[in-house]
Amino acid sequence: MRAAILIPAALASLGFAAAGVGATPTPGVMSQAGAGILVQVAEHECIRDEKGWHYMEKDRRRSCRPKRPEGKEWGWKCEGKRCGWWHAKEKRWNDG
């Protein structure tokens, strides 16, 4: 009975170990510290106009968010048509 529990557990752990061996980062992709999550690096500049934040990809308008400011008090907030990074303690928008 003990072998019936140990063998599947050992095989499962081997599968998890082997999955991490072949995972190598590709150019243009950044990995977070040990989380195993890959994030695509942005290659565009996000700008704001009367319709909101966007960038242009050839002739197509794509929605986006600008880079998050330094500090942990910044959060994404929308008030009506205005969306952007809002500082929770200082009660102000990041217009930089």
3-state SS class at 61: strand
Question: What length does the chain have?
Answer: 96
Q: What per-residue confidence (pLDDT) applies to 13?
A: 63
What is the value of pTM for the model shown? 0.49
35 and 25 Cβ atoms separated by less than 8 Å: no
pLDDT in tens, the chain (96 residues): 555 665 666 666 665 555 555 555 555 555 555 567 777 765 778 888 888 889 999 899 999 988 899 999 999 999 888 889 999 999 999 876
Region at 14 (left for phi over 0; alpha for psi -120 to 50; beta for the rest): alpha
